[in-house]
Amino acid sequence: MVVSGALAAIKITAGLMGHSTAVVADGLESTGDVFASGIVLLGLTVAAKPADWDHPYGHGRVETVTGLFVGFMLAMAGLAISANAWHTIRSAMPGRAMHGSAMPPPALFVVWPLIGSAVAKGLLSSVKFHYGKKIRSAALLADAWNDSVDILSALAALAAVSLAIVAPHRFSSADHWGAFAVGLIVVFTGLRVTRDTALQLMDTMPDKESMAHVRNAALTVPGVRGVEKCYARKTGLQYHVDLHLEVDPEITVRQSHEIATEVRIVIKETLPWVADVLVHVEPAP
């Protein structure tokens, strides 16, 4: 949040002083990053609360909802940036621009905040992707994608500004088109983040390899004849698993219960991304 805030202040100031719409747009996008990261921080804090009587599955879904909100926030911010840039482009079209109202070309110094932003956001996104995948955090991964799009938006703005500086008469509107491109990039990233988090809220199953790990862990327990059904749904940073276990139909209820308990323990110890396992025992065919 500190890095994003500093970048936003630098880019907006440089963009206004250097007459660059694209740099100002990129600075506004970084301003949104401060709020997005703050929301993610709040979501992770609430999600870490332990389960209680009215939240037996914990508070992890708050973290997923946070990721969804960040996606919406990105998409709305991108639309606002593109709409503002498009309005500027239309105003500068022949027949619309007022005499003497043409903006001067961007100053050369505005390229440095964009280069610095791309480098800083590259480092931030790498760290967030690493820990987001490690703890399976939808919100942190959403924030990592947010930082990744900042790299693309900074490069798009840099290309547009460079054209406007090198050939201001030929590419007089390149800076504004750069701002428009920045907005579109932000919109598409926001839609992707929204889609990924929405799938988790819809209890989308994890990948087949992860489910195979659950089945294989269960099959290592003595007395297990097979696994009929195996489902999993994400409840924040971890998954809750529902398992239909096949055992010898001639053993006692107590014996089958002990096998089921051992399966639950083995899966939780083997797979740290599993929060809990509900085992239903069935007679093997």
Taking residues 198-204, report their average pLDDT: 84
* pLDDT score of 76: 87
Q: Which of 179, 201, 223 is the last residue of a domain?
A: 201
How do residues 59-110 score in pLDDT, each as one tens digit? 888 888 888 888 888 888 888 878 877 877 777 665 554 444 455 777 888 8
The answer to whether residues 136 and 246 belong to one domain is no
Burial of 122 (0-12, 13-18, 19+ CB in 10 A): middle
Minimum mean pLDDT range among 40-44, 90-94, 237-241, 280-284: 90-94
Q: Does residue 21 sit in the same domain as residue 143?
A: yes
Same domain? 118 vs 54: yes
Do residues 152 and 276 both lie within one domain? no
DSSP 53-73: TTBTT-STHHHHHHHHHHHHH
Number of folded domains in the chain? 2
User: What residues pair up with 232 in beta bridges, in sequence order?
Assistant: 241
Say if residue 263 is in the same domain as residue 149.
Answer: no
**What pLDDT is recorded for position 100?**
44
> So what's the pLDDT on residue 175?
67
Rounded distance between C-alpha atoms, residue 224 and residue 214, angstroms? 13
Question: Which of 161, 178, 201 is where one domain is finished?
Answer: 201
Residue 122, domain CATH: 1.20.1510.10
Task: With a cut of 60, say whether residue 274 has pLDDT above it.
Answer: yes
> What angle do the packed helices 253-270 and 208-219 form, to 10 degrees?
130
- Say which DSSP state 237 is in: S
- The reported pLDDT for the residue numbered 125 is 93
Cα(181)–Cα(82) distance, rounded to whole angstroms? 7
Taking residues 242-266, report their average pLDDT. 96
Percent over 90 (pLDDT), the chain = 34
Q: Which domain holds residue 10?
A: 2-201
Choice among 1-15, 70-84, 94-108, 169-183 with the minimum mean pLDDT: 94-108
Domain co-membership, 46 together with 156: yes
Based on the fold, state whether residues 113 and 224 are members of the same structural domain.
Answer: no
pLDDT, tens digit (0-9, with 9 covering 90-100), for 96-110: 544 444 557 778 888
Q: Which of 201, 219, 248 is the last residue of a domain?
A: 201
* Whether residue 233 sits in one domain with residue 141: no
Is the same domain home to 132 and 100? yes
Regarding whether 109 and 75 lie in a shared domain, the answer is yes
4/28 Cα distance (integer angstroms): 10
Indicate which CATH number applies to the domain containing 247. Answer: 3.30.70.1350
Residue 95: what pLDDT? 54
Do 168 and 222 belong together in one domain?
Answer: no
